[in-house]
Amino acid sequence: MRQALIVWGGWSGHEPERGAQIIRDFLTEDGFDVRIENSTAAFADPTIRDISVIVPIVTMSKIEKEEVSNLVAAVQGGVGLAGYHGGMADAFRDAVDYQFMVGGQWVAHPGNIIDYHVDITRPDDPIVSGFERFPYRSEQYYMHVDPSNEVLATTTFSGEHASWIDGVVMPVVWKRKHGLGRVFYSSLGHVASEFEVPQMREILRRGINWAAR
């Protein structure tokens, strides 16, 4: 049986515990043995190098050197890493090795909660296949991203809330490799109620399954 580790914590505004429960439920349905922890100390456990996938949900947190080094080594060795929104891509602002692995870091969400669209750029990819452009209401993440990411979906900024980014096309969903490990990320999912959006939920679910070895 494939094993998944979900680690939640950090800023409570992203409702990390509820998100962890939702992900636990659908991964259990998908045949995973799921373990949930609420401390980054779980990343220092040597046994994480033997599991299938790790899902971090820990916005604006600190991570110790031995924790991040063991996590990075696990992914480089073949463990999958998958997550969403600030829980994964705004987790450890001072840990560059972690950001290198994730492939991006949040820097702004102009306008805060707004209406925007998500555009599917790789409709042939199984993670997003069957989906077309869809409307979304949440934070529209402006990110610093790795050019080596394989981008599956994007969003375009209007410039209404920051005129200098008018027309900027920003990755929303991507996948990548880090060593032998697969890494998946979606910027959607500011609060747990967004899991009720079928595109958000299913893309994340497929992405986690893709990342898991």
The one-digit pLDDT tens for each residue of the chain (213 residues) are 999 999 999 999 999 999 999 999 999 999 999 999 999 999 999 999 999 999 999 999 999 999 999 999 999 999 999 999 999 999 999 999 999 999 999 999 999 999 999 999 999 999 999 999 999 999 999 999 999 999 999 999 999 999 999 999 999 999 999 999 999 999 999 999 999 999 999 999 999 999 999
Whole-angstrom CA distances from 175 to 99, 122, 161 are 14, 11, 28
Give the residue numbers spanning the domain of 198. 3-211
Q: Where are the beta strands (DSSP E) in the chain?
A: 3-10, 33-37, 53-59, 80-84, 104-108, 113-120, 134-139, 142-145, 150-156, 169-178, 181-186
Domain count, the chain: 1
Residue 118: phi and psi, rounded to 5, are -110, 125
Distance CA 6, CA 162 (A): 35
> Biggest alpha carbon distance in the chain?
50
Q: What is the CATH number of the domain that holds 30?
A: 3.40.50.880
The 3-state secondary structure of 74-111, one letter per residue: HHHCCCEEEEEHHHHHCCCCCCHHHHHHHCEEEEECCC
- At 58-80, the pLDDT tens digits run 999 999 999 999 999 999 999 99
Whole-angstrom CA distances from 177 to 58, 77, 102, 103, 182 are 21, 11, 9, 9, 5
DSSP category for residue 29? H
